[in-house]
Amino acid sequence: MTLTLLKRDLSRFFPFAGSGGAALPLLFFLSVAMLYPFAVGPKPELLAQTGGGVIWIAALLAAILPLERLVASDMELGVFDQLKLRGVTEEAVMAVRMVAHWISFGPMLIVASFPAAALLNLDGPTLEILLLGLLAGTPGLAAAGLMIAALTASLRGGAALSGLLLIPLCLPILIFGAGSLARGETASLGFVAAISLLLVAITPFAAGAAIKAAREG
């Protein structure tokens, strides 16, 4: 059952798997890295100093892009109702969807960080911290995104709202993740991982409750 669900979710969210919109976060992420040097000027020191932070912001914004497609369409189609009738709990569906959502943007962003780091003139150690940080932080971004998407799925104009709501939830990840770059140490990445873990742990329940509430509302 889990595998069946995961397969369906991945076929809908994974970039290049079918519907064109799924590759958008990746392209968005790369274009920010590409445009930034044009906007602030090509000074190597400036880019090396601020580039890591820009990559973090691009990662956060890239995580917002797929939110609209994450829950609302399935709610409209009645997929959650039909799964519930078959005894599959909302929590399980949301846990699987969280994993699928992460797989379809987390690893991509981490890989895309290599060209982005080259464009922004980041050196080896900085890139290493950045990669570790993204590895620890993207599960949290995925979880928070799914939670917000489920909460706003039944609202009109929910898509616009979800972007706004996600930003404060992701601030701690951004602060500790980008902060570790500024200080050049990996200790605060522990905080990023801890926040991610917390978000990953509560999201299936929060998102599941949101779907139940929307159904009964």
Partner 1 sequence: MQGASIRAANLACRRGDRLLFRRLSLELAAGDVLHVKGANGIGKSSLMRILAGLLPAYAGEVTRSGDLALMDERPGLDLDQPLGKALGFWQSVDGCTNAAHALEVLDLEPLLDVPVRYLSTGQRKRAAMASILNRGANIWLLDEPLSGLDTAAQAKFAALIQLHIGGGGICILASHQPVEIAGLKTLVLEDFAPKDAPEDAT
Q: How far is CA 188 from CA 62, 124, 184, 193, in A?
A: 23, 19, 10, 9
Are 28 and 105 contacting, i.e. CB atoms less than 8 angstroms apart?
no
CB nearer to partner 1: give 32 or 214: 214
CB nearer to partner 1: give 21 or 179: 21
CB of 79 to partner 1, least distance (A): 4
3: amino acid identity, one letter: L
CB nearer to partner 1: give 12 or 196: 12
Site string for partner 1, 18-57 (x = CB under 8 A): xx--------------------------------------
Site string for partner 1, 70-99 (x = CB under 8 A): ---xx-xxxx-xxxxxx-x-----------
| DSSP code of residue 22 | G
Please report whether residue 118 would count as binding partner 1 according to CB under 8 A.
Answer: no
CB of 19 to partner 1, least distance (A): 6
Interface residue with partner 1, options 8, 23, 48, 194 (CB under 8 A)? 8
- The CA distance from 215 to 217, in Å, is 6
What region, left, alpha or beta, does residue 19 occupy, with left being phi > 0 and alpha being psi -120 to 50 degrees? beta
Are 192 and 199 contacting, i.e. CB atoms less than 8 angstroms apart?
no
Contacts (Cβ under 8 Å, ≥6 apart) of 54: 32, 33, 36, 120
The binding site for partner 1 (CB under 8 A) comprises 1, 4-5, 8, 12, 18-19, 73-74, 76-79, 81-86, 88, 215-216
